[in-house]
Structure 1
Amino acid sequence: MVQGPTFYMAGAFFPSWMVCLAGAIVIVLILRLIFIRTGLDDLLTFRLMTYTAMVVAIAFALALLIYGR
């Protein structure tokens, strides 16, 4: 039986994708602050979709880089 990577935190097992998703959210929040300071945030037309797509793309990239085989 093949099982995906999990982490033991706070008495429970969490799937690795949750850790990657949390990391991606933190990275996008930092990127958003940078975008606001540089004025790039004002140029985005669909901010919600853009930031959501960034979170998903970064989460996938983290999962591939850390757990990819």
Structure 2
Amino acid sequence: MRAWTILASCTTLTACSDSPSIGVLGAYFPDWLFCIVGGVLLVACVHVLLSRSGRGGWLAPPALVYPALTVLFSIALWAVGFNL
């Protein structure tokens, strides 16, 4: 029984590591926070570009499309910025 307890605790602790954070003026922020902010800014740029060109109707239900684009851009920024 003791061996199974040790094995279970070792397998659960294998993924533990330091949290990925970025130091900004002495305070540490998680990297995903910057990726979400970047994703929101990119979606705002896409919205402005599409509305100025008259193609804003392409993004049919905005309540679904804009959050999905935010997630897509945030994950892309995280993959490019912190995983490559």
Q: Calculate the TM-score normalised by the size of structure 1.
A: 0.85
Q: CA deviation at 1:10?
A: 4.5
CA distance in 1 between partners of 2:30 and 2:18 (Å): 10
How large is the RMSD of aligned CA atoms in angstroms? 1.6
Segment drifting more, 15-24 vs 35-44 = 35-44
Which ranges in structure 2 are unaligned for 5 or more consecutive residues?
Answer: 1-15
Give per-residue Cα distances to partners, 1:31-66, cap 9 Å, x unaligned: 100010112212332112101100100100110111
What residue number does 2:44 align with?
29
2:74 matches 1:62? no
Q: Please state whether the residue corresponding to 1:7 is helix, strand or coil.
A: strand
CA distance in 1 between partners of 2:18 and 2:75 (Å): 18
CA distance in 1 between partners of 2:30 and 2:48 (Å): 28
Structure number with bigger Rg: 2
Q: How many residues align?
A: 69
Q: How does 1:1-69 map to 2 (within 5 A)?
A: 2-68=17-83
